[in-house]
């Protein structure tokens, strides 16, 4: 879904920090926060349209599961967290927003020991959706295969969206240097895992394929939604181990992201994907995804 340019008036950014909603320029956390000092935290990125966070229950489920895995207490339940998101979007006058929910272990006391008695840090921000020109969806994008292995990005558990994002950052930097939109990270066996900020899908023999979770990929929310849509629409699909050599067999490819939706991939490195333009299956799935977003 391209940005709708529906944010009206003079928006002013607000942020939620540990129970307080403040103008973003006045919102602060301690310089001793473990999220800053150690990268000890996790986050979720959610798109909110008309103040309604899309597929919020799925985002919250992943957030809560990750927090439990990291032994970080989540201060708000799903209803209260969604209420804060809606409040921030309303106060910031954002009809189409990127919402970032960040949870860290809280104050750093020296050393690496986990002290369960310390309160966590919860930060929520809302910003306008930007950088989604319509030509991305009409013409497609080029991506590259990074030499940074997915294992370097996964850390403790690849299912956790950790605040430690260095591998992803440098994979994206490789893409930028080659004037590409995104970078593919490979799994431990050289298989296609995911992109630096999104999940990967392709079409081979008329079947939509995506790498399995066992490859060490993040279980993307949009990926989950798309798998449901493919089943409901009766579109042949499945999980498969894919390798760069398989690009020549791909008739279509696209990436999935909570903020960007579905973006067609028309070139991987120097190789053209299919006919080098968005294909019919991509268009059908994207339309179905738009309907799912509208339905909530």
**Which pLDDT tens digit goes with each residue over 70-88?**
999 999 999 999 999 999 9
Instruction: Find the Cα–Cα–Cα–Cα dihedral 259, 218, 85, 82, rounded to 10°.
Output: 130
Statement: residue 10 has pLDDT above 90: no
Q: How far apart are CA 289 and CA 293, in angstroms?
A: 6
Residue 255 confidence class, pLDDT cut points 50, 70, 90: very high
Q: How far apart are CA 165 and CA 197, in angstroms?
A: 10
Residue 159 confidence class, pLDDT cut points 50, 70, 90: confident
Angle between helices 221-233 and 280-295 (to 10 degrees): 110
Residue 12 confidence class, pLDDT cut points 50, 70, 90: confident
Statement: residue 242 has pLDDT above 90: yes
Mean pLDDT confidence for 186-210: 96
**Ordered structural domains, the chain, with CATH:** 14-128 (3.30.470.10), 134-295 (3.20.10.10)
Residue 129 confidence class, pLDDT cut points 50, 70, 90: very high
Residue 106 confidence class, pLDDT cut points 50, 70, 90: very high
Statement: residue 152 has pLDDT above 90: no
The tokens describing 124, both together, are 């929520």
Which region, left, alpha or beta, applies to residue 292 given φ > 0 means left and ψ of -120 to 50 means alpha?
A: alpha
Mean pLDDT confidence for 244-251: 98
Statement: residue 5 has pLDDT above 90: no
Mean pLDDT confidence for 101-117: 95
Q: How far apart are CA 87 and CA 124, in angstroms?
A: 11
Statement: residue 95 has pLDDT above 60: yes
Mean pLDDT confidence for 239-251: 97
- What are the φ and ψ backbone dihedral angles of 170, each rounded to 5 degrees? -75, -25
Statement: residue 6 has pLDDT above 70: no
Give the CA count within 13 Å in the CB-facing half-sphere of 277.
Answer: 5
Residue 158 confidence class, pLDDT cut points 50, 70, 90: confident
Q: How far apart are CA 101 and CA 59, in angstroms?
A: 10
Mean pLDDT confidence for 186-194: 93
């Amino acid at each position: 879904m391209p940005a709708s340019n529906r944010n009206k008036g003079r928006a002013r950014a607000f942020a939620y920090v540990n129970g307080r909603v403040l103008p973003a320029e006045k919102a602060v956390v301690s310089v001793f926060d473990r999220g800053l000092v150690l990268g000890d935290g996790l986050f979720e990125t959610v798109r909110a349209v008309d103040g309604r966070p899309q597929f919020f229950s799925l985002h919250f489920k992943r957030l809560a599961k990750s927090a439990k895995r990291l032994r970080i207490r989540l201060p708000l339940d799903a209803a209260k967290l969604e209420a804060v998101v809606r409040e921030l979007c309303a106060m910031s006058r954002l009809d189409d927003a990127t919402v970032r929910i960040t949870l860290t272990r809280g104050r750093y006391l020296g050393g690496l020991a986990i002290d369960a008695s310390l309160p966590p840090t919860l930060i929520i921000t809302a910003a306008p959706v930007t950088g989604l020109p319509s030509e991305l969806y009409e013409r497609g994008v080029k991506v590259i295969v990074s030499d940074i292995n997915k294992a370097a990005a996964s850390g403790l558990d690849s299912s956790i969206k950790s605040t430690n994002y260095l591998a992803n950052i440098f994979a994206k930097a490789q893409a930028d240097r080659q004037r590409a939109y995104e970078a593919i990270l490979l799994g431990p066996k050289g298989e296609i895992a995911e992109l630096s900020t999104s999940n990967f899908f392709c079409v081979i023999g008329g079947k939509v394929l995506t790498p399995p979770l066992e490859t060490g990929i993040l279980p993307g929310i949009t990926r989950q939604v798309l798998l449901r849509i493919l089943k409901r629409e009766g579109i042949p699909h499945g999980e498969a181990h894919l390798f760069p050599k398989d690009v020549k067999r791909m008739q279509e490819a696209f990436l999935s992201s909570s903020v960007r939706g579905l973006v067609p991939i028309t070139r991987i490195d120097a190789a053209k994907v299919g006919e080098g333009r968005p294909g019919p299956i991509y268009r059908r799935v994207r339309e179905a995804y738009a309907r799912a977003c509208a339905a909530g």
